[in-house]
Amino acid sequence: MQLRLSRSIRRITVLTPAGQTTLLYKAPKKKKKKTSALLKPLDKTIRKLGKAQQKSVKIYLQRHDKSKRKKKDGWLRDLNYNSYRAAKKQLKVLKLPLLR
């Protein structure tokens, strides 16, 4: 049975006439904030950058393997193009406008 309780309720304990107690509900402890408010935007930006780089490397490796399978030394021939495509995907993940 799922109880819908107010956030202010921390614990529900039942007392028996014999003096025993049983705990019915205990609210989970609140997690401490691990980042200060001043550094939160920086943390968010760095995390976004890391995810974009991870995506870029994944795309590059996929294209590298595909080029390697298609032609002899194909990975070397397609190095510039594969890097360009991966960087383009990275900008998409970052959602930065392209410079023209």
Long-range contacts of 42-50 (CB under 8 A, 24+ apart): 48/93, 48/94, 49/94
d(CA 46, CA 39): 11
**Residue 13: inside a domain, yes or no?**
no
**What's the pLDDT score for residue 97?**
56
**What's the pLDDT score for residue 44?**
87
Name residues of the chain where pLDDT drops below 70: 1, 3, 96-100
Domain that holds residue 64: 40-94
**Residue 5: inside a domain, yes or no?**
no
**What's the pLDDT score for residue 41?**
87
**What's the pLDDT score for residue 7?**
83
Q: Residue 8 corresponds to which tokens in the numbers above?
A: 């202010």
SS (H, E, C) 17-49: CCCCEEEEEECCCCCCCCCCCCCHHHHHHHHHH
**What's the pLDDT score for residue 35?**
85
Q: How many domains does the chain have?
A: 1
Is the pTM for the entire model greater than 0.75?
no
**Residue 55: inside a domain, yes or no?**
yes
**Residue 88: inside a domain, yes or no?**
yes
d(CA 8, CA 60): 51
pLDDT tens, residue by residue, 84-96 = 999 999 988 887 6
**Residue 16: inside a domain, yes or no?**
no
**Residue 19: inside a domain, yes or no?**
no
